[in-house]
């Protein structure tokens, strides 16, 4: 993990990757393109094979052919076919039902054969790209046919996709089921947000810069905002989304990754458990929510018809596979308090939603205002506060705003920006976000994967919200127009505290780095 550390880049070991649900979207959109990118960067082990397992009617030949045609269409960036060919010849396919013991026999034979052909040394990892109801039965079957056994230095690991449970109880049950067969060290609970470069950089930014960390606490920070806004609706996933909703889909996983990376104490090393211990501590320190807190500090919303990117779009209730009177939320905003020595009294405001005005994921650290006394007898009427924005996507970078004197004989202050843009400094990376995670799994580094206690601690925070919302179904849905910034209650949540959400997209920064809002000249007298 750490640059300059002898163990910082553990190499991916020879292995067979087995993809359950290999004919689904994830394989062609993310997993295979990520493997091509790893091959291009010379980071894929030479002794490597892929075995796809699914119910669809393919042979190894037709499966390779289908992927070869589909990957260029779906991959986020063009895949260099030179590397694809090298991978294609190491792909095998087994057709079978996830519940059928006979299919597992065929799978086992194919894995052993692929292992022999590619000299994968008996190591294997299973990627469960399947509906969550199959997680436990698949792992049970893998155990029964001896595929999860680790002996003579051979390892066996299982990557589990989200959602990991749909509430606290089901997450605990799933952990128990997996642990009947596997040890914690064999389980890699994936959250693709941790594969994002800028999310990983939060830790590096905080802990490798001496000017940042001393300010990163309740003495200097007024509040923190975390936004994950999407312009897309539920697309073809209405059926799944109806059972999930924005809270389950985004908060205990992706938003809590951003929250814990932002709020955690410095770990003593980048060792997987050291880092994850610190993340878990943050989740445990979140003040438990009473039913009153839920009613006061949690906002839910659902989009109605509106305009997104200049296009008229329908409301959530008219999406395919969505009930016409659905009460599922497509937006949430919450206020959480982390009741520890670093953060007590500093609210963390989180929001996420579909069909919002702009696609943006960002973390805003809003610093406290300085004393005004010096400016009392000047023309300056108020002081803007310093704000640090960590841009996760689509822009990737960090910007810090601060006040400066506008040249002239009258005292005027301008709000100016210092910007770091990933692309300008480091150039564009060809990345799907899965490269690092797949390689880490092959190398046995679980730092960027969820541990069972973290998953349960996350659900523990969320459970009171689920309980209250189940008891009191939402009234007045839809309550925001597609293309807006969500329901008005989300603005009220901050306004009650004398604060407001960062106005994303409304602050145009001119060439000299000045923010042209609130007044076009960047002057905030
Ligand atoms: C997924 C959610 O986990 O993350 C989706 O299920 C959501 O609903 C997606 O759209 C967002 O990921 P990203 O990387 O586009 O921010």
CATH code at position 488: 3.30.360.10
Q: Tell whether ligand 1 has an atom less than 6 A from the beta carbon of residue 249.
A: yes
Q: Tell whether ligand 1 has an atom less than 6 A from the beta carbon of residue 362.
A: no
Confidence bin at 383 (pLDDT 50/70/90): confident
pLDDT of residue 83: 86
Ligand 1 pocket: which of 195, 250, 432 to mutate (most atoms within 8 A of CB)? 250
**Same domain (yes/no): 144, 91:** yes
- CA 274 / ligand 1 centre spacing (Å): 27
Within a domain: residue 394?
no
CATH of the domain at 38: 3.40.50.720
Residue identifier of the C-alpha nearest atom 2 of ligand 1: 249
The predicted model scores a pTM of: 0.92
* First and final C-alpha spacing in the chain: 46
pLDDT of residue 72: 84
pLDDT in tens, 446-485: 999 999 999 999 999 999 999 999 999 999 999 999 999 9
- CA 330 / ligand 1 centre spacing (Å): 12
| Boundary of a domain, candidates 161, 176, 208 | 161
Q: Which residues of 306-323 are buried (b: 16+ CB within 10 A; e: fewer)?
A: bebeeeebebbbebeebe
Q: Which positions are annotated as active-site residues?
A: 254
pLDDT in tens, 44-90: 999 999 999 999 999 999 999 999 999 888 776 767 777 888 999 99
129 sits in which H/E element: none
- According to DSSP, residue 440 is labeled H
**Same domain (yes/no): 210, 260:** yes
Within a domain: residue 219?
yes
Ligand 1: nearest atom to the Cα of 230: 10
Within a domain: residue 170?
no
Q: Tell whether ligand 1 has an atom less than 6 A from the beta carbon of residue 440.
A: no
Per-residue DSSP letters for 133-183?
GGHHHHHHHHHHTTTT---TT--EEEEEPSP--SSHHHHHHHHHHHHHHS-
**Same domain (yes/no): 51, 149:** yes
**Same domain (yes/no): 341, 200:** yes
Q: How many independent structural domains does the chain possess?
A: 2
Structural domain containing residue 39: 15-161
pLDDT of residue 415: 85
- CA 149 / ligand 1 centre spacing (Å): 33
Ligand 1 pocket: which of 25, 163, 230 to mutate (most atoms within 8 A of CB)? 230
Within a domain: residue 354?
yes
SS3 124: strand
- CA 71 / ligand 1 centre spacing (Å): 20
**Same domain (yes/no): 277, 357:** yes
Omega before residue 316 within 30° of 0, cis: no
pLDDT of residue 511: 41
- CA 393 / ligand 1 centre spacing (Å): 12
């Amino acid at each position: 993990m750490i640059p300059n550390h002898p163990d910082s880049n553990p190499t991916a070991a020879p292995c067979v990757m087995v993809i359950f649900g290999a004919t689904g979207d994830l394989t062609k959109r993310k997993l295979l393109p990520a493997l091509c990118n790893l091959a291009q960067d010379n980071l894929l082990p030479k002794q490597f094979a892929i075995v796809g397992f699914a119910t669809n009617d393919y042979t190894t030949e037709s499966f390779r052919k289908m992927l070869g045609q589909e990957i260029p269409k779906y991959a986020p960036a063009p895949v260099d076919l030179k590397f694809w060919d090298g991978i294609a010849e190491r792909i095998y396919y087994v057709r079978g039902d996830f519940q059928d013991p006979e299919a597992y026999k065929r799978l086992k034979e194919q894995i052993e054969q692929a292992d022999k052909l590619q000299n994968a040394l008996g190591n294997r990892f299973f990627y469960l790209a399947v509906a969550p109801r199959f997680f436990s039965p698949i792992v049970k079957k893998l155990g029964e046919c001896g595929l999860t056994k680790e002996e003579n230095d051979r390892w066996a690991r299982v990557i589990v996709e989200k959602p990991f449970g749909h509430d606290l109880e089901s997450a605990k049950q799933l952990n128990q089921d997996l642990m009947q067969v596997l040890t914690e060290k064999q389980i890699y609970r994936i959250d693709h947000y941790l594969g994002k470069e800028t999310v990983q950089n939060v830790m590096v930014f905080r802990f490798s810069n001496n000017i940042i960390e001393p300010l990163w606490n309740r003495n200097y920070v007024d509040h923190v905002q975390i936004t994950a806004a999407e312009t897309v609706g539920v697309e073809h996933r209405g059926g799944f989304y109806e059972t999930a909703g924005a809270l389950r889909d985004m908060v205990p996983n992706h938003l809590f990754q951003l929250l814990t990376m932002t709020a955690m104490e410095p770990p003593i090393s980048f060792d997987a458990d050291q880092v994850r211990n610190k993340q878990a501590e943050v989740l445990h320190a979140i003040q438990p929510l009473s039913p009153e807190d839920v009613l006061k500090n949690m906002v839910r919303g659902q989009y109605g018809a509106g305009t997104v990117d200049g296009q008229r779009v329908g409301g959530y209730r008219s999406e395919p596979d969505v009930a016409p009177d659905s009460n599922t939320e497509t937006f949430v905003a919450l206020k959480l308090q982390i009741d520890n020595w670093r953060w007590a009294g500093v609210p963390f405001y989180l929001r996420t939603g579909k069909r919002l005005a702009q696609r943006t994921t960002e973390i805003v650290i809003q610093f406290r205002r300085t004393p005004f006394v010096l400016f009392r007898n000047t023309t300056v009427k108020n002081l803007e506060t310093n704000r640090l924005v960590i841009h996760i996507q689509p822009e990737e970078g960090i910007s810090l705003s601060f006040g400066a004197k506008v040249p002239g004989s009258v005292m005027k202050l301008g709000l100016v920006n210092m910007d770091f843009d990933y692309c300008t400094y480091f150039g564009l990376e060809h990345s799907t976000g899965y490269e690092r995670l797949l390689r880490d799994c092959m190398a046995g580094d679980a730092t960027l994967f969820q541990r069972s206690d973290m998953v349960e601690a996350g659900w523990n925070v969320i459970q009171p919200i689920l309980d209250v919302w189940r008891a009191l179904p939402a009234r007045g849905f839809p309550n925001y127009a597609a293309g807006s910034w969500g329901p008005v209650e989300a603005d009220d949540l901050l306004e009650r505290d004398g604060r407001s959400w960062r106005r994303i997209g409304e602050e145009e920064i001119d060439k000299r780095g000045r923010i042209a809002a609130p007044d076009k000249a960047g002057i905030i007298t």
